[in-house]
A and B are shown apart, each in its own frame.
Chain A
């Protein structure tokens, strides 16, 4: 096992509860695994309550109810209530699809702290195309209702080549809807987004223009709206500090109960990620092979091992190293020190070529049919 550690790890602070892979939307950059249809079983209510209780006892305090679409779980309100009783700060990460005013009130009474609504674009036509579902007007109504009932509202817009030109309209929409926070999430290329990368990755010029517009807007809304900007790492020369360090802060539990050090880690080979039905959260966090795999720096190869920045970015993202170089022990190729850094430019060139091509292949939407086809 790589990265065997001698000292007790820091306890988890963040629990991402992926309640289900079911979702009425079909976003082509979904972070769920491509082969999600293979994992049909879902934890039951008692399993989730036990997971919440055990993680809270270790020190987890931020809790994300996510999916898929978490609203498809009939026991969501009961789980929110349990989380509130335990002292979690609960975040509902939703498409807004199917969220009624009655449900918003019910969740508030159960103790939900915050609702994050995702919108795919600033126009109905593009939103409904990307989401694969007619949902734009309903999402806007939901955003208004979230505010009306006193929740802080985070509007999340995933940015890619199809909508990056709408940046001014996206910002105006966030202001009009009264968002307290706007998350501009440049697509991260894993799972479905990796499969669609040629169609989603913008050019550097597009990124720079959009970023400048967002930056100028930020100044005008100081004190009213906070902007979280998820950086497009393909255009950086140092990798992101993956998960704030593997197994230091974040714990994801997938719908079937598999515990993951990051929500993409299911794609990595040989981790043997443990299931919460077999082990307690404490055993999983402290003792499992998966959570110890990349702790510390014993696992590192060059150029990471001797790098003076290794404690800053921890070698970057292992899923990206695996997807782009075939070896998860390699440095994240986003890093300009990586011998594989050329694959990033190849990806950028390939996407640019695809954008100029007369017969670009269509987007691969995230749905069960495509999942089964690709598994």
Chain B
């Protein structure tokens, strides 16, 4: 499974992304399970809202953090997210 660069990316409707005050981190919740996210992973996933494709997510994040060259890292993370079912492109 790979990311289609032309299609927008959605966060899965059967998972929930949420800030956990007690843990001071974002987590993904799904049936009987939880994944703890680091800050950059959470920033990427928050932009998977069905309005942006890969290039738009990269450019938004590069702008937000005043940096460049994030394409490879973001693509690699999104492919892991896709394989885990956290995001989809349907």
A contact set with B: CB distance below 8 Å: 11, 13, 57-59, 61-62, 64, 87, 89, 91, 113-114, 116, 150-152, 154, 180-181, 223, 226
**Which among A57, A59, A62 is the interface contact of B32 at CB below 8 angstroms?**
A62
> Whose C-beta in chain B lies nearest to the C-beta of A60?
B22
Q: Which residues of B contact A91 (CB under 8 A)?
A: 31-32
Do residues A113 and B27 form an inter-chain contact, with CB atoms below 8 A?
A: no
Do residues A61 and B14 form an inter-chain contact, with CB atoms below 8 A?
A: no
Interface residue ranges of B5-27 to A (CB < 8 Å): 13-14, 16, 18, 20, 22-23, 27
Do residues B14 and A152 form an inter-chain contact, with CB atoms below 8 A?
A: yes
Q: List 21 A-B contacts (CB under 8 A).
A: A11-B22, A13-B34, A58-B22, A61-B20, A61-B34, A62-B32, A89-B16, A89-B29, A91-B32, A113-B31, A114-B14, A114-B30, A114-B31, A114-B32, A150-B13, A150-B14, A152-B14, A152-B30, A181-B31, A223-B1, A223-B85
Interface residue ranges of B22-46 to A (CB < 8 Å): 22-23, 27, 29-34
Do residues A113 and B29 form an inter-chain contact, with CB atoms below 8 A?
A: yes
Do residues B18 and A87 form an inter-chain contact, with CB atoms below 8 A?
A: yes
Q: How far is the CA of A160 from the CA of B80 in the complex (A)?
A: 35
Closest beta carbon of chain A to B34's beta carbon, Å: 6
Assess A152 versus B1: contact at CB under 8 Å? Given A11-B22, A180-B14: no
Q: Which residues of B contact A59 (CB under 8 A)?
A: 20, 22-23
Assess A152 versus B23: contact at CB under 8 Å? Given A87-B18, A223-B83: no
> Whose C-beta in chain A lies nearest to the C-beta of B82?
A223
Q: How far is the CA of A113 from the CA of B34 in the complex (A)?
A: 13
Q: Which residues of B contact A226 (CB under 8 A)?
A: 85
Further 6 A-B residue pairs, CB within 8 A, beyond A59-B22, A114-B32, A116-B32? A58-B22, A59-B23, A91-B31, A113-B16, A151-B14, A180-B31
Q: How far is the CA of A152 from the CA of B13 in the complex (A)?
A: 9
Do residues B31 and A61 form an inter-chain contact, with CB atoms below 8 A?
A: no
Q: How far is the CA of A116 from the CA of B22 in the complex (A)?
A: 27
Q: Which residues of B contact A62 (CB under 8 A)?
A: 29, 32-34
Q: How far is the CA of A218 from the CA of B75 in the complex (A)?
A: 26
Q: How far is the CA of A62 from the CA of B27 in the complex (A)?
A: 11
> Whose C-beta in chain A lies nearest to the C-beta of B20?
A61
The 6 closest A-B CB pairs, nearest first, are A59-B22, A152-B14, A89-B29, A114-B31, A154-B31, A152-B31
Q: Which residues of A contact B20 (CB under 8 A)?
A: 59, 61
Q: How far is the CA of A91 from the CA of B22 in the complex (A)?
A: 20
Q: How far is the CA of A180 from the CA of B88 in the complex (A)?
A: 15
Q: How far is the CA of A152 from the CA of B85 in the complex (A)?
A: 12
Assess A64 versus B22: contact at CB under 8 Å? Given A89-B16, A223-B83: no
Closest beta carbon of chain B to A222's beta carbon, Å: 9
Q: How far is the CA of A62 from the CA of B83 in the complex (A)?
A: 23
Q: Which residues of B contact A154 (CB under 8 A)?
A: 31-32
Q: How far is the CA of A32 from the CA of B64 in the complex (A)?
A: 53
Q: Which residues of A contact B13 (CB under 8 A)?
A: 150
Q: How far is the CA of A116 from the CA of B31 in the complex (A)?
A: 8
Q: Which residues of A contact B33 (CB under 8 A)?
A: 62
> Whose C-beta in chain B lies nearest to the C-beta of A11?
B22
Closest beta carbon of chain B to A293's beta carbon, Å: 24
Q: How far is the CA of A59 from the CA of B30 in the complex (A)?
A: 17
Q: How far is the CA of A53 from the CA of B27 in the complex (A)?
A: 20
Closest beta carbon of chain A to B33's beta carbon, Å: 8
Q: How far is the CA of A59 from the CA of B31 in the complex (A)?
A: 18
Q: How far is the CA of A116 from the CA of B30 in the complex (A)?
A: 12
Closest beta carbon of chain B to A86's beta carbon, Å: 11
* Residue from the set B29, B31, B34 with the largest chain A CB neighbour count within 10 Å: B31
B58-90, CB under 8 A of A: which get 1 and which 0?
A: 000000000000000000000000010100000
Closest beta carbon of chain A to B80's beta carbon, Å: 13
Q: How far is the CA of A227 from the CA of B13 in the complex (A)?
A: 19
Q: Which residues of B contact A116 (CB under 8 A)?
A: 31-32
Q: Which residues of A contact B16 (CB under 8 A)?
A: 89, 113
Closest beta carbon of chain A to B86's beta carbon, Å: 12
> Whose C-beta in chain B lies nearest to the C-beta of A113?
B16
Q: How far is the CA of A374 from the CA of B81 in the complex (A)?
A: 50
Q: Which residues of B contact A61 (CB under 8 A)?
A: 20, 22, 27, 29, 34
